[in-house]
Amino acid sequence: MAPLQTVLITGCSANGIGSALAVALANQGHHVFATARSPSKIPSSLTTLSNVTPLQLDVTSSESVAAAVKAVELHGTGLDILINNAGSGYTMPLLDVDLTQAQQVYETNIWGPLRLVQALAPLLISCGGRVVNISSVGAVVPTPWIGIYSSSKSALSNLSETLRLEVAPLGVSVATLMIGTVTTPFHANEPRFTLPPNSRYAAIAETISRWASGEASPKGCSAQELADLILPDVLGTTGHGMFWRGPNSGAVKFVSQWVPGWLADRMMSTGQGLDELAASQSK
């Protein structure tokens, strides 16, 4: 059996990927620091376990990160694995994007993981640790209405793979997980979708709204099913690098690498309301 390890996971709110991973790891005997911006959202199924330490952690705050690092240091077992799972989304046509909200998505999805990696680097290096960055298949295909989210995940994937090269000589491994469709409360945590007045996309507002709510998304697996699937990637038994996991991940990988651009565009535009929008412009 692999040695028991100390793991810190961001974004451990109930019913999400983070809390599911925390349960799976804790059930194997590992010590888990289960963190969330609002600790009250961490499920009691985690907080009542003796080998789980719930922590408040806002990855956009340097002060919050410093406090979490101090808590890990005081625990005295070092840190073997950091899982950057916390993330936020934003569904909105790019012409209508509120730049303040868009910047907040980047603050959570890009600068948050990097802030945490920098702060925890001494502990990870001393343990020969591992960083697991939870990205998305949305990073590699242009999908209407989620350009801010997808571009942030594209940046995270590149950052993660670059980090892998840079910290390998220091004894730290990095895995980038390109996650497919998972059923979680992710969309419910987004800002309420409302097009601004006089939006050029008003004719298809209802269609975009269905994507914003997750109603139009493909069927996904449960968070616990995904956690069980990626557990070997988290623990390092599958090596390092980029891994495509979860429903639709293989299909998206194939489309991004092998399908001609014009056909990929058509596939990703289907059902998005773009044809209806074009028709409305010609009236």
Strands (E), 180-276: 182-183, 221-222, 241-245
Q: How many CB atoms lie within 10 A of CB 33?
A: 23
- Contact by Cβ (8 Å): 124, 82: yes
Tokens of 233: 């990637």
Beta bridge partner(s), residue 52: 32
As annotated, the active-site residues are 149, 153
With contact defined as beta carbons under 8 Å apart, do 156 and 135 qualify?
yes
Say how many CA atoms lie within 13 Å of 74 toward its Cβ: 9
Helix (H, G, I), strand (E, B) or coil at 129: coil
Element (H, E) at 7: strand 6-9
Q: Which parts of 76-185 are beta strand (E)? A: 81-84, 130-136, 173-179, 182-183
Instruction: Give the C-alpha separation, 39 to 55, whole Å.
Output: 6
